[in-house]
Amino acid sequence: MKWDTLDEEPCSLSRTVAVVGDRWTLLILRECFLRVRRFEGFQSSLQITRHLLSERLKKLVRFGILRRVPYSEAPKRYEYILTQKGLDLYPIIMAMVHWGDTHMGDERGRPLLHEHKNCGKLFDPVMVCSECGEPLHAKQVHVHAGPGRKEAVG
């Protein structure tokens, strides 16, 4: 597989996988959503090798998920802030957390609880249809080839 052009495949899943489809990247993003911003912060909480962390942060910046922002001029120091494109990954992360809560739990109970500030309650994320608002299930969805697929296939 040519992983270097995966982000140009005529498949939105492939394109997303090209960006966030590896273990370290997903764990780094978890830390981002937990408000970690600095190299040493990621490194110490994840125990990732510095080499790979450096590599992954560069990639996330290159794809516009993180912005490298200086927070000190001398010495030059940067922190990594989620862009809007990065913040929009939240449903993916939350969907993964929720699946883990549901299917990979143990007797100790949930590791984290999530409170929705708007309503003040502890919640679970639910995926619904943008048109009718009903919860979505795989078997209720029919897939059609869109223009981007038809053009690519010929």
Q: Terminus-to-terminus CA distance in the chain, angstroms?
A: 21
For residue 152 the two structure tokens come to 């690519």
CB 125 within 8 A of CB 95: yes
CB 81 within 8 A of CB 47: no
Residues in binding contact with DNA, number by CB under 7 A: 23
- Distance, CA of 97 to CA of 91 (rounded, Å): 10
Indicate whether 41 belongs to the interface with DNA (CB under 7 A). Answer: yes
* Cα–Cα distance list, 5 to 26, 50, 82, 87, 131 (Å): 20, 26, 24, 24, 33
Query: Which of 74/138 has CB closer to a copy of itself?
Result: 138
CB 75 within 8 A of CB 67: no
Indicate whether 35 belongs to the interface with DNA (CB under 7 A). Answer: no
User: At its nearest, how many Å lie between a copy of itself and the CB of residue 16?
Assistant: 4
Q: Which does 21 bind (CB under 5 to 8 A by kind): a copy of itself, DNA, none?
A: a copy of itself
Residue 78's DSSP bridge partners are: 70
Q: Considering only 41-49, 95-103, 128-136, 139-147, which stretch makes contact with DNA by CB under 7 A?
A: 41-49
Q: Which does 77 bind (CB under 5 to 8 A by kind): a copy of itself, DNA, none?
A: DNA
Indicate whether 74 belongs to the interface with DNA (CB under 7 A). Answer: yes
CB 110 within 8 A of CB 119: no
Query: Which of 77/91 has CB closer to a copy of itself?
Result: 91
Indicate whether 81 belongs to the interface with DNA (CB under 7 A). Answer: no
Name the site residues for DNA (rule: CB under 7 A).
1, 3, 22, 24, 38-41, 48-52, 54-55, 57, 68, 71, 74-75, 77-79
